[in-house]
Amino acid sequence: MKIIRLGITALITVFCIASCGQVASSTQGSPLSADDEEKLRAFKTELWGKAYDEQDTVLLSKLLHENFLLVDDNGDTYSKADEIEYISNYPPSYSTFEYEIDRIQIFDNGTAVVFGKGIMKGEDADGVYITTYKSSNTLIKVDGDWQAINSHVSGVKEERIQDAPSY
């Protein structure tokens, strides 16, 4: 009986290893290229902001992976569908937005992490404000294009500017 159990255990182990290998290879990123860092910079400093600024759901859909998950500064989570619905219904309240990249790490498996600071400037009923936050974003390369699969936002700070010109 021990031989059969060991045989079944070995068979299950081999099946699990083979299955994990199939999952890993089917989700592996595309080969890296010399201009990946430049593409990632444009992704974070231009394209992602543009999608929100212009409420461009088509662009945002291309930028976010199907399994995208955002964790905001309150610990709430949002999916790709949530983000697309949000930008469809809510135009930006800020006047200007920029993203400063502090660090980009690109890994051989087609994964990258981009860390930086978002800066939003605007004016509302309470006056002129500047809102800053930190974010880390995990991106994977799929069919030659980078897509965000995870984003984490923290350290949101709002500063009110007295007697400031409008933005």
Distance (Å, rounded) from C-alpha 138 to C-alpha 71?
12
Residues 79, 66: contact at Cβ < 8 Å?
A: no
pLDDT at 161 over 70: yes
The residue type at 49? G
Structure tokens at 122: 């605007």
Distance (Å, rounded) from C-alpha 37 to C-alpha 2?
55
pTM of the model: 0.78
pLDDT at 18: 36
Split at pLDDT 50, 70, 90, the class of 162 is confident
Distance (Å, rounded) from C-alpha 138 to C-alpha 18?
26
Residues 116, 142: contact at Cβ < 8 Å?
A: no
Task: Name residues whose C-beta falls within 8 Å of residue 63's C-beta, 6 or more positions apart in sequence.
Answer: 43, 47, 48, 51, 147, 148
Average pLDDT, the chain: 85
